[in-house]
Amino acid sequence: MPRKVGCPKSVIRLSIKSLSLCHYSFKSQRIMKSKEEQLTEKLKVIKLKLQSEKAKSKSLENRPVTSEKQAKALKAACLELKN
């Protein structure tokens, strides 16, 4: 009678379980990374909007109007981040 060669069933079960845990961990890391990338993109857009608003406001002579526009731009940036 030939002798069976291979892993016991308990070892195979543990291997499958650890593989599924690794897959879950990798998947959650990938999801977190994509969310991080999305937030990074939003921040870049907001920074560009604020820079353009600052550039526009520098040309204005009336300072109170400038600070109001900067405050509005900052509020818009905060709303953009919340979304």
Low-confidence stretches of the chain (pLDDT beneath 50): 1
Percent of the chain scored above 70 by pLDDT? 48
Structure confidence by residue, pLDDT tens digits, 20-31: 655 556 666 666
> Mean pLDDT for the chain?
69
Q: What is the DSSP letter of 2?
A: P
Residue 71 φ then ψ, to 5° = -65, -40
Report the C-alpha gap between 40 and 72 in whole angstroms.
22
